[in-house]
Amino acid sequence: MIVAIDGPAASGKGTLARRLARHYGLRHLDTGLLYRAVALKLIHRDMLEDAEAGAEEARHLDPAFLSDSALRSEAAGAGASVVSSYPQVRQALLEMQRRFAAEAPGAVLDGRDIGTVICPDADAKLFVIASPEERARRRALELESRGEEVDEAAILADIRARDHRDMNRATAPLKAADDAVTLDTTTLDADAVFAAAIAIIDGLTGRTPAS
């Protein structure tokens, strides 16, 4: 079974995807980490605006690098929004993601274009959203929990800028697949989101709660 979860930054899709993978006994891939990894490599080389360099980094990306804690930084997130607009980078990472999804017993993938591009034939597709203000609040809490200084207004501005880039890029823009179910998490806690997602997936795949 393949579950595709898309949505904007800080909508809660990553936390949800990890819980769903454990629940269904599937593997999980946070595809955003791939773009963050490429971005961080380019930032270290002061080449974030170089699409060809990004494609080269993507083609030689070491999966072990995906566990680097620096990938969770705001700089890596902002950089990922930039490099994900490069068609060369997206193409270089496309087959890696599809191979991961195709391996038994299946997978939960979360990102921006899973249901539309990476896994258009996924068994279940969710488009997870939340208001920009709520997403900024969540991001601020996450950063505070790591002991980082927080400017919530700046975070909100960054989220709005990322949304604009992601939704308006020429290649694989952020949008819900035609057959995706939208799940608005603005007023829901993590457990409520998880329960709602299970109900949606079980309904789409014909599973029973005990299966």
The answer on whether 192 is annotated among ligand-binding residues is no
The answer on whether 8 is annotated among ligand-binding residues is yes
Q: Is residue 209 within a helix (H) or strand (E), and if so which, with residue range? A: none
Phi and psi torsions of 122, nearest 5°? -55, 150
The answer on whether 15 is annotated among ligand-binding residues is yes
The answer on whether 9 is annotated among ligand-binding residues is yes
User: What is the distance between the alpha carbons of residues 75 and 78, in angstroms, rounded to a whole number?
Assistant: 5
How many other C-beta atoms are found inside a 10 Å radius of the C-beta of residue 4?
29
The answer on whether 7 is annotated among ligand-binding residues is yes
From residue 30, alpha-carbon distances to 52, 57, 107, 124, 154 in Å are: 23, 18, 11, 17, 25
Paired tokens of 183: 């799940």
User: What is the distance between the alpha carbons of residues 65 and 203, in angstroms, rounded to a whole number?
Assistant: 36
Known binding residues for ATP: 7-15
Known binding residues: 7-15
